[in-house]
Amino acid sequence: MIVVSQSASQTLRALRISVHGIVQGVGFRPFVYRLALRHGLTGTVANNSDGVAIHIGGPAETLDRFVAALRAEAPPMARIGRIETRRAARLPDETSFRILPSRSGARPSTQIAPDIALCADCQGEILDPTNRRFRYPFTNCTNCGPRFSIVERIPYDRPNTSMRHFPMCGDCSREYHDPLDRRFHAQPNACPVCGPRLSWRDGEGQPLPGDGLEQAALALAAGAIVAIKGLGGFHLAVDGGSHAAVATLRRRKLRPAKPLAIMVRDLATARQYCRLTDQEAALLTSAEHPIVLTALREQSGLAENIAPGLDRIGVMLAYTPLHFLLLSQPAAPKALVMTSGNHRDEPICTGNDEALQRLRGLADFFLLHDREIVTRVDDSVARIMDGRIRLLRRARGYSPVPVPLRRPTADILACGGEMKNAFCIVRDHEAYLSQHIGELTGAAQFDFFRESIDHLQAVLEVAPTRAACDRHPDYLSSRYAHRLADCREVQHHHAHIGAVMAEHGLAGPVAGLVLDGAGYGGDGTVFGGEIYRADRHGFVRLARLAHLPLPGGDRAAEQPWRMGLALLYCGLGPDGLAEPALPAGLRTLARASREMIGQMLAKGVNCPLTSSCGRLFDAVAAILGLCLESGYEGQAAMLLERQAHLATDREAAPLYPVALAEEKGVTVIGSAHLAGPLCRDLLAGVPLPALARRFHLWLAASLATVLERIRRQTGLDQVVLAGGCMQNQLLYETLAVRLRQAGFAVHGGEMAPMNDGGIALGQAYIGGCTCV
């Protein structure tokens, strides 16, 4: 207790202040305490079920400064929502400022903090040989460290986390109970005496001698694959400078081409490999430390099989002391490829025994520790587009921070889609979009989905009776949602639009442009290039991309060459598939395969129709010979975007014509007419980058033209951009700039991914709409 003296000459006043948001478990009360002392104010601060309650008194002007500083100087992990201030009669104690013990209330409306990257103070300590935490890989404080991944239930106190197995030593306990210490009430507080420890094992799980960090660094430098237990799960790590090590990892993980992300020690090292913008550098070093998709330097020294054929790479900075210390070892490679520790189509491993079993044969060594991971959280992935942070995968650092809903929304459980699944729980007008769950196709993933729903419902103390899901009847997520009596189906692309509307507080109607791979439309065709007039109640399809046949159905998505032939057939007829006219890339296909597809197209056998934008990208990439077989989702589009980056504006002229037609009241954006000019330009030797860029600009121009026409007819001037294809930076930025110049207000996904990882938010916003 500290006694404060006050000058009696000023007007004294008392206030009751309620602070809402993520304000518990983030050092907020000690921050308030120190702030009050600094301003010479008296009173109390306490946690309650609404957040933090402050009762404070002093000179009126000083109180104003104190309230302003609450928001301006809040601790890094706090996320302040509302601050309510009202005059109070008098103070309970006018001589000191005190932190009161927590009061338990009814249903807690307070929020759980996400896991936050190692802070600068803790980093300094683990590098300081005189500090008692020198080289200790589980160092943390109230400003950093694990939160969501170790919480078993609320309130967020040590006995309710996986740190309960580690009773604090005297030194840690003193820090924990000292309001002026950086570790005051830091629930995961630990040190080498009392906290979690590393263990270093061989590929069979047998303990090996030596210092784990040193040994792991040596093994990685020698080209081994090391399974590392991190914050929210296991990674498989290899030397990012070694082509052979990356090739081994790809072979063992059965992941031939999908781009991998790297982890480096610090920003300076990241700059050696990447050309970072200021905004990207700020995002890399933010409290969240996501993987940031950024421009790879040429001759970077990284193995080129990390992101084959691409000019962008995912990079992250070491975000736990363990990773930081590992990368600080003299022997350690400067860049580690870090991929999730799992087999294809399984969730990332979290438990030691589970990892030793499931990752056997994948990893040569294991770097384990004994702090249990309660909740599995993958790394988040973000990219800066059109000047904003856009999450491509929402997980560590971002979950479970809620998206505040500015329109009335019922408590609801939205179960998301099938690919890149995430679910969403709305409680009291706040949308908790879950961490990335993954592809909901196998039993293990489905278990992860159900467990995560149960866990988040328990932590939020909510059990919605209303549900929302995709219209696709076969999705596991849809079947799960239908167990609740009050279940609303939301069409896939309507949900995409809804997610952006939710994030930006829009009620609609908006013109929603959704470009993606595939969504269940319900009319027998596959949707994926749509413009809707949408609000929270429903939608009308105003425009779409022209139908292309999908020769072989789903197989067409894995084999872009099928789409290439389909586009040629639609534009040029059967002659388009004949040898002399065929672009060089497609000529490498076996004649029998080409003829088979030709017959399927001619007879319309097993050729469902699609307006998918993803498949249109596939078709063009195949015609240009960039991608005949797809090794991962989105590969053809990413290779096409990469080519387009190499072109100059001048090379892109002339533009391909925009071709619009009307069909049953829907505007149809023709694409078949591209086949002729693409083949002609290829034959004439126009460079691939120019062609790739022409295609992107044609697509943006076509869509903008249609949106302008729609505005003339309907007055809709709010545009929502969504769908997985919008992760294409060139397309997104070209569209956004052009639309804004034409006077539209343009909205895209930011904290909710524009791919299928965001649709649960849209389902919740639409399914939970309570207005009539």
Query: Is 691 a residue that touches Zn ion (CB under 5 A)?
Result: no
What is the Cα–Cα distance from 306 to 313, expressed in whole angstroms? 8
**Closer CB to Zn ion, 321 or 400, in the complex:** 321
User: Is position 12 an interface residue for Zn ion (rule: CB under 5 A)?
Assistant: no
Stretch of 45-53, 91-99, 170-178, 487-495 lying at the interface with Zn ion (CB under 5 A): 170-178
Enter the tokens of residue 616. 């249109």
Radius of gyration of the chain (CA): 28
15 interacts with Zn ion by CB under 5 A? no
Q: How far is the CB of 186 from Zn ion (least distance, A)?
A: 8
Minimal distance, residue 147 CB to Zn ion, in Å: 12
Q: Does 287 bind Zn ion (CB under 5 A)?
A: no
Alpha-carbon gap, residue 254 to 512, rounded angstroms: 37
Strands (E), 78-194: 79-88, 96-99
Dihedral sign for Cα 297, 303, 307, 309, please. Answer: positive
Axis-axis angle for helices 321-328, 212-221 (nearest 10): 60
Contact between 615 and 607 (Cβ < 8 Å): no
Chosen residue from 194, 287, 444, 572 binding Zn ion by CB under 5 A: 194
Which distant-in-sequence residues (6+ apart) come within 8 Å of 135 by Cβ?
Answer: 126, 213, 325
Nearer to Zn ion, 88 or 169 (CB): 169
Q: Using an 8 Å Cβ cutoff, are 294 and 275 in contact? A: yes
Interface stretch with Zn ion, choices 32-40, 41-49, 165-173, 693-701 (CB under 5 A)? 165-173
d(CA 623, CA 619): 6
CB 550 within 8 A of CB 616: no
Contact flag: residue 60 with Zn ion (CB under 5 A): no
Q: What is 660-680 written as a DSSP string? A: EEEETTEEEE--GGGHHHHHH
Span 135-164, contacts to Zn ion by CB under 5 A = 141, 143-144
| Cα gap 711→10, rounded to integer Å | 60
Residues 6+ apart with CB under 8 A from 32: 45, 52, 54, 70
Provide φ and ψ at 15, rounded to 5°: -130, 150
Question: Counting contacts by CB under 5 A, is residue 122 touching Zn ion?
Answer: yes
User: Does residue 193 interact with Zn ion by CB under 5 A?
Assistant: yes
| Residue 745 binds Zn ion, judged by CB under 5 A | no
Number of residues counted as binding Zn ion (CB under 5 A): 10
Measured from the CB of residue 230, what is the shortest distance to Zn ion in angstroms?
17
- By CB under 5 A, tell whether 120 contacts Zn ion: no
Complex with Zn ion: residue 124 or 574, whichever CB lies closer: 124
77 contacts Zn ion (rule: CB under 5 A): no
Q: How many CA atoms lie within 13 A of 698 on its CB side?
A: 29
If one asks whether residue 507 binds Zn ion (CB under 5 A), the answer comes out as: no
| Part of the chain binding Zn ion (CB under 5 A), chosen from 17-25, 117-125, 476-484, 695-703 | 117-125
What is the smallest separation between the CB atom of 195 and Zn ion, expressed in angstroms?
6
Locate 451 and state its tokens. Answer: 């467990």
Q: Segment near Zn ion (CB under 5 A), from 120-128, 324-332, 643-651, 708-716?
A: 120-128
**Among 4, 37, 67, 169, interactor with Zn ion by CB under 5 A:** 169
- Residue from the set 172, 310, 468, 736 that interacts with Zn ion by CB under 5 A: 172
Task: Supply the minimum distance, in Å, between the C-beta of residue 269 and Zn ion.
Answer: 21
Continuous segment of H or E residues that includes residue 100: none
Name residue 317's amino acid.
L
Interface segment toward Zn ion; rule CB under 5 A; list 189-197, 487-495, 678-686, 751-759? 189-197
Q: Which is nearer to Zn ion, 195 or 560 (CB)?
A: 195
CB-wise, 193 or 653, nearer to Zn ion?
A: 193
Minimum CB separation from Zn ion for residue 286, in Å? 15
Nearest approach, Cβ of 234 to Zn ion (angstroms)?
23
Position 93: which residue type? Answer: D
Question: Is residue 191 at the binding interface for Zn ion, with CB under 5 A as the rule?
Answer: yes
Q: What angle is formed at CA 759 by the lines to CA 754 and CA 761, rounded to 5 degrees?
A: 105
* Binding-site ranges for Zn ion (CB under 5 A): 119, 122, 141, 143-144, 169, 172, 191, 193-194
